[in-house]
Amino acid sequence: MTRIVFVIFSLATGVATYAGVAGIGGEDKQIANSIRSGSGGRVGYIGGVK
């Protein structure tokens, strides 16, 4: 059981390290959507301003 948990934890650490290096999930949504849409069109505001 210990070996299995160690393997799972190793994999989780590896995935988290890769995600951190690749910046997965760190993209600004507005820019990512704009890049994906290909039009360069503005798709929304970031946050709110007083």
Which residues lie near another protein (CB under 8 A)? 1-2, 4-6, 9-10, 12-13, 15-17, 19-28, 30-32, 34-35, 40-42, 45-47, 49-50
For residue 1, what are the CA distances in angstroms to 4, 7, 47?
A: 5, 10, 46
Give the C-alpha separation, 11 to 8, whole Å. 5
Closest CB 33 distance from another protein, rounded Å: 9
Q: How far is the CB of 14 from another protein (least distance, A)?
A: 10
Taking the complex as a whole, the smallest distance from the CB of residue 1 to another protein amounts, in Å, to: 4
